[in-house]
């Protein structure tokens, strides 16, 4: 049982500990809390388990207009800038104007993608912080036995999170679809569809009706289908919930 005397920000500390993003003092405090409250270790393990599956190659998106403008301004400034004078940091000594522009663009895009990754990670963390949240394991089948994943479900929300790795990127015009099969039923519940990256990873956030939230009794299935096909599973089964 988790003691009520925990600090008010204990959830943020636990999340930071799972992300290895705490100061030494904060990490020491969390370790002390874990010693005093062994039940917290379950939350840490759950966070680390799901965060380990967060994709590092989320589908790339076009940068917003303000970032485009920043990149263009950096390029124009680089074209006007003469060879840089000597600076304190040696890393800048060898940078020409063109390289500086490249670095500015790369940093701008990387920061944009990093924000996307952080927002995705935050969605998982916020879901895992809810006491009602359940995490279901997914495993590959047939030719995709190397695939693995997790389904994060909060019965009080109308969204579920699906994390997957080692599931091949679907061909153009195809998508993976998530289904649920209740005991004694032959008509599956459709939860949504998603794709994966070239690295076989994804973090999909699917919106579903509250009355269709997955439970322990529901068998979860993922099939490969045409992205425009009727909502009937006809393609090969690639993943399912662990029994």
| Domains of the chain, CATH where assigned | 10-52 (no CATH), 65-120 (no CATH), 134-241 (2.60.40.200)
Query: pTM of the prediction?
Result: 0.56
Residue 98: the pLDDT is 40
Closest of 68, 77, 65, 69 to residue 101, by C-alpha: 77
Cβ distance 19 to 127 under 8 Å?
Answer: no
Mean confidence (pLDDT) of the chain: 72
CA–CA gap between residue 201 and residue 197 (Å, rounded): 5
Q: How many CB atoms lie within 10 A of CB 165?
A: 20
| Dist CA 196 CA 114 (whole Å) | 18
**pLDDT for the residue numbered 153:** 82
Mean pLDDT, residues 192-198 taken together: 93
Query: DSSP H helical segments within 19-96, as ranges?
Result: 24-36, 39-51, 65-80
Q: pLDDT, tens digit, for every residue of 199-229?
A: 898 888 888 877 777 777 889 999 999 999 9
On the CB side of 234, CA atoms within 13 Å amount to 9
- Residue/partner pairs of 104-110 with CB below 8 Å, 24 or more apart: 104/71, 104/74, 104/78, 105/71, 105/74, 105/75, 108/63, 108/67, 108/70, 108/71, 108/74, 109/63, 109/67, 109/71
Write the burial class of residue 85 (CB in 10 Å: 0-12 exposed, 13-18 middle, 19+ buried).
exposed
| Residue labelled with tokens 């998508």 | 175
Residue 9 has pLDDT above 70, yes or no: yes
pLDDT digits (tens, 9 = 90+) for 126-142: 555 555 677 788 999 99
Span 230-243, pLDDT tens digits: 999 999 999 999 75
DSSP-assigned beta bridge partners for residue 152: 135, 161
């Amino acid at each position: 049982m988790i003691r009520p005397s925990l600090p008010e920000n204990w959830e943020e500390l636990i999340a930071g500990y799972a992300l290895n993003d705490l100061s030494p003092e904060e990490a020491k405090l969390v370790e002390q809390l874990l010693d005093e409250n062994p039940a917290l270790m379950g939350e840490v393990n759950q966070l680390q388990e799901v965060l380990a599956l967060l994709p590092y190659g989320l589908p790339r998106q076009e940068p917003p207009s303000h970032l485009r403008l920043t990149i263009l301004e950096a390029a124009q400034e680089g074209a006007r800038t003469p060879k840089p004078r000597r600076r304190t940091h040696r890393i800048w000594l060898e940078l020409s104007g063109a390289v500086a522009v490249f670095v500015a663009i790369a940093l701008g895009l990387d920061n944009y993608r990093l924000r996307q990754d952080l927002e995705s990670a935050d969605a998982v963390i916020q879901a895992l912080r809810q006491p009602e949240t359940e995490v279901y394991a997914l495993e590959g089948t047939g030719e995709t036995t190397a695939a693995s994943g997790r389904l994060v479900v909060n019965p009080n929300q109308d969204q579920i999170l699906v994390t997957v790795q080692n599931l091949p990127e679907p061909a153009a015009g195809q998508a993976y679809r998530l289904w649920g099969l209740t005991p004694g039923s032959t008509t599956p519940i459709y939860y949504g569809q998603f794709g994966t990256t070239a690295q076989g990873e994804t973090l999909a956030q699917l919106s579903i009706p509250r009355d269709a939230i997955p439970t322990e009794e529901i068998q979860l299935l993922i099939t490969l289908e045409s992205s425009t096909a009727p909502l009937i599973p006809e393609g090969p089964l690639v993943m399912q919930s662990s029994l």
